[in-house]
Amino acid sequence: MTGLSDVLQLRVRYSETDQMGTFYNSRALEWFECGRTELMRRRLGMSYTALEARGVFLPLVEAHLEFQGRARYDDLLEIASTVNVSGRAKLRFDVQIHQGESQKPVVCGYTVHAFTDRQGKPIRPPAWFVAALQEPSSPVVPIGSSHGDTPGVLWQSALPAVHENPCSVGH
């Protein structure tokens, strides 16, 4: 299955830089989160809040980053994120962050998230979530009434076109 992708633009804020004038390394994981959150919202049509309201949680279980270049205050970055199911109960988000204008790479990597219930017990991806990932023509969008496991919410599919992720981190 080809993953769903999204690209988010983000400008480096002054508070994200260090004395050397480049972004502080821990900021990369925060930028990964920005890309992941917007991919979920834009391509799956659901926020983390909506996902958690359905009793599904995605705690981080693994992260890998390769620092490839610099990003300075006020640089415009592009965060390209792609999501795929990994194994039986995990999601993997591949991320490539590069300079918006020059396209020079800044950070590349991935995060892996387990599907769990509210108590942190591993669960399989719900069928409605897997269906959303498999229908790249339309995102899953809440439209108001009930759909089985979640009172008050019906999810319909409507995803935009999938873009290739430039991240080439092997695994």
Q: How far apart are CA 73 and CA 54, in angstroms?
A: 39
Q: How far apart are the first and last CA of the chain?
A: 16
Q: What percent of the chain has pLDDT over 70?
A: 78
Q: What tens digit of pLDDT does each residue of 70-100 get?
A: 999 999 999 999 999 888 899 999 999 999 9
Q: Within a domain: residue 162?
A: no
Strands 76-86 and 155-156: unpaired
Query: Across the chain, what does the average pLDDT equal?
Result: 82
Helices (H) and strands (E) in the chain, counts: 3, 7
Residue 141 pLDDT > 80: no
Residue 138 above 60 pLDDT? no
Res. 157: pLDDT tops 50: no
pLDDT over threshold 70, residue 159:
no
> What is the domain extent for residue 137?
4-156
- Which residues neighbour 122 within 8 Å (Cβ) at sequence distance 6 or greater? 89, 114, 115, 116
Residue 129 CA to its chain's centroid (Å): 14
Residue 168 lies in a domain: no
CATH of the domain at 82: 3.10.129.10
The structure's pTM equals 0.78
In a domain, 30, yes or no: yes
Residue 19 domain flag: yes
The count of domains in the chain is: 1
Q: Give the model confidence (pLDDT) of 96-137 as tens digits.
A: 999 999 999 999 999 999 999 999 999 999 998 888 888 754
